[in-house]
Amino acid sequence: MSKPDISPPPLRNDCFALPAGVNWTPVDDALALLRDRLTVVTGVESAPLMQAAGRILAEDVQAKRSNPPQPNTAVDGYGFAGPVADGPCVLPLVEGRAAAGVPFGGKVPSGHAVRVLTGAALPEGVDTVILEEDVTLDQGHIAFRGPLKKGANARKAGEDVVEGALALPAGRRLTPADLALLSAIGLAEVSVYKVLRVGVLSTGDELVEPGDIAAPGQIYDANRPMLLSLVERMGFEPVDLGSAEDSREALEHRLNHAARQVDVILTSGGASAGDEDHVSALLQEAGAMQEWRIALKPGRPLALGMWDQTPVFGLPGNPVAAMVCTLVFARPALTLMAGAGWQEPQGFDVPAAFEKRKKPGRREYLRARIREGRAEVFHSEGSGRISGLSWAEGLVEIEDGARDIQPGDPVRFIPYGSFGL
């Protein structure tokens, strides 16, 4: 499993270019562009099974061994050669027993039975097991009532996974259950993508660190703790790039440093076209910036660019828009760059507990949660309402067209969990 320590080629500088003449890009078109243009950017390494939870498989995994490796008993009882016809049945017992990990040495003659315990390999001459609760034991014999099918209460070799079969595909993010599977089929080590390093940078003269004294006009940096923890929950390596004042030099310095340290940069704030929007201005200057005006609420233009071969997602400053844009756009892009492929969040149609009339032209995401089987939405749609983000347990997605939603109408709810949180 030794491989050279190399990474795939960098993304192209024009990877975020929009088709000419596009004004407001529908959400699905924007997602399709990201999906087409981005590729895996991390290298591959080997990870011990015990440390592989949450890692992304870089190769298909074939079973080295069948599960179960040999036929065994699913219950405590007595094994013999089946089937058994309708009616009473009495069988002599052979000496000895078969237990998990301690096989029965000999062969069980036809017409005889042997004591077996759950998980024991079936001895030669045994293919069927009767539960101990269904048996009377006396004078070295067992008595029970048929019928019993051949193979009853026994597990066949490979009935779960056959040696050589594909057990898990490349791109799979390993779950705790996957580790059980990998271990059962004989793997001790897996080939995985290196963890994608995602830098998070806040921008704005108004920002102060949590705990510092905030002068009038200053606000606490709410995006950085949120984005760093989103990145971590989504299974990437968060890298705190701090916060930068609204000056081109400060930002340039930070980006230069960050591009050497991380695979992707998420910035928040300064991404529009105003005087103090230095993220977009800098990326523009570098000649590798695209302003995506996405038909989406909440969301300002998304600034996408390349800084020294490192993709930069310029997220809106408003925390609500920053989180929604991260979940909707950055997450699938990051999973793709990390090797897990493009992942659409699983949503569920549930009855609305609210009323809303919406004009056509853009998609909307409402902060929502499920109570008594219905989707409730936060009482305000204001994009500065951080408490609503915290109140919510997911998003209601309302399609691009017009809608007049009445209580009880179906709406699409996407739990935060569907975004990997």
Question: Between 204 and 299, whose beta carbon lies closer to ligand AMP?
Answer: 204
Q: Residues of 8-45 as b/e, b for ≥16 C-beta within 10 angstroms?
A: eeebeeebbebeeeeeebbbebbbebbeebbebbbebb
Question: Between 238 and 269, whose beta carbon lies closer to ligand AMP?
Answer: 269
Beta strands of 184-341 (E only): which ranges? 189-193, 197-203, 207-208, 219-220, 237-244, 264-268, 289-292, 294-297, 302-307, 310-315
Does 327 interact with ligand AMP (rule: CB under 6 A)?
no
Does 269 interact with Mg ion (rule: CB under 5 A)?
yes
Could you say which of Mg ion, ligand AMP, none residue 219 binds, taking C-beta under 5 to 8 angstroms by partner kind? Answer: ligand AMP
Please state the closest distance from residue 200 (CB atom) to ligand AMP, in A. Answer: 10
In sequence order, which ranges of 46-188 are alpha helices (DSSP H)? 176-184
Q: Which of 72, 267, 268, 335 binds ligand AMP (CB under 6 A)?
A: 268
Binding flags for Mg ion, 184-213, as an x/- string (CB under 5 A)? --------------------x---------
Does 319 interact with ligand AMP (rule: CB under 6 A)?
yes
**Of residues 160, 206, 217, the one with CA closest to residue 183:** 160
Does 238 interact with Mg ion (rule: CB under 5 A)?
no
Q: Which stretch binds ligand AMP (CB under 6 A): 10-18, 78-86, 314-322, 330-338?
A: 314-322
Q: Which of 142, 148, 221, 320 binds ligand AMP (CB under 6 A)?
A: 221
Question: Between 224 and 363, whose beta carbon lies closer to ligand AMP?
Answer: 224
**Of residues 192, 199, 222, the one with CA closest to residue 210:** 222
User: How many residues at the interface with ligand AMP, by CB under 6 A?
Assistant: 18
Question: Between 128 and 223, whose beta carbon lies closer to ligand AMP?
Answer: 223
Does 317 interact with ligand AMP (rule: CB under 6 A)?
yes
What CA–CA distances, in Å, run from 403 to 26, 133, 234? 17, 61, 32
Does 90 interact with ligand AMP (rule: CB under 6 A)?
no
Displacement of CA 80 from its chain's centroid (Å) = 46
Does 66 interact with ligand AMP (rule: CB under 6 A)?
no
Q: Which residue is nearest to ligand AMP (CB)?
A: 317
Length reported for the chain: 421
**Of residues 24, 87, 62, 111, the one with CA closest to residue 301:** 24
Burial of 199 from C-beta contacts in 10 A (0-12 / 13-18 / 19+): buried
Question: Between 181 and 304, whose beta carbon lies closer to ligand AMP?
Answer: 304
Question: Between 55 and 278, whose beta carbon lies closer to ligand AMP?
Answer: 278
Measure the CA–CA gap between 74 and 118, rounded to whole angstroms.
5
The DSSP H or E segment spanning 309 is: none
Antiparallel, parallel or unpaired: β 25-26 and 294-297 = parallel
Question: Between 268 and 326, whose beta carbon lies closer to ligand AMP?
Answer: 268
The conformation of residue 328, written as its DSSP 8-state character, comes to I
Question: Between 278 and 358, whose beta carbon lies closer to Mg ion?
Answer: 278
Binding flags for ligand AMP, 181-220, as an x/- string (CB under 6 A)? ---------------------x-x-xx-----------x-
**Of residues 88, 102, 198, the one with CA closest to residue 134:** 88
Q: Quick count: other Cβ atoms within 10 Å of Cβ 274?
A: 10
Could you say which of ligand AMP, Mg ion, none residue 284 binds, taking C-beta under 5 to 8 angstroms by partner kind? Answer: none
CB-facing half-sphere around the CA of 407: CA atoms within 13 A: 4
Question: Between 127 and 205, whose beta carbon lies closer to ligand AMP?
Answer: 205
Could you say which of ligand AMP, Mg ion, none residue 202 binds, taking C-beta under 5 to 8 angstroms by partner kind? Answer: ligand AMP
Q: Quick count: other Cβ atoms within 10 Å of Cβ 406?
A: 11
Please state the closest distance from residue 272 (CB atom) to Mg ion, in A. Answer: 8
* Residues at the interface with ligand AMP (CB under 6 A): 202, 204, 206-207, 219, 221-224, 268-272, 316-319
